[in-house]
Amino acid sequence: MRAQTKLIALGAVFMVLLSSIIVMALIDDVEGPLIYQVDILPVSPKAGDMIAVIIYCIDSSGVSGAQLSSSVNDEEWVVEVMKFYACLCLAGGRWTAAFGPLNEGDSGKFFVTAFDNSPFENAAETQVYEMVIEA
């Protein structure tokens, strides 16, 4: 009985230490996800094309979501929730969205914001990308 009590106490201490490590890791997460790749399709858009935006991102606390902000011809920014497409690892994945269609002479701008899964929902943004559809 005494050995069993020691084993239970040791297990409880282990669980408290493990919980503390997890909480500290989440509290130390003060930066948004790393957006390490942005793909734009089609590569050379033509009049009438929808512009697909695919991002790959990762974060130590996981990625909870992403959004695409786009503007055509300097009009108001439109924000769209990106769809989770594939899990590449436990802490990230691939997210997709599209905007348009863009017509001849249109100017399209966009950027992406990704959010981590920490209690603070830290965000990271890409640069603003711009394209002009020529004749």
Measured distance CA(56)–CA(107) in Å, rounded: 25
Higher pLDDT, 51 or 2: 51
> Per residue in 109-125, pLDDT tens?
999 999 999 888 999 99
Measured distance CA(33)–CA(81) in Å, rounded: 16
> Per residue in 87-101, pLDDT tens?
766 677 899 999 999
Q: Would you state the pLDDT for residue 76?
A: 97
Q: What is the CATH number of domain 31-132?
A: 2.60.40.10
Asked if 114 and 95 touch (Cβ cutoff 8 Å), the reply is yes
Parse the chain into domains and list their residue ranges: 1-29, 31-132
> Per residue in 46-89, pLDDT tens?
999 999 999 999 998 889 999 999 999 999 999 999 999 877 66
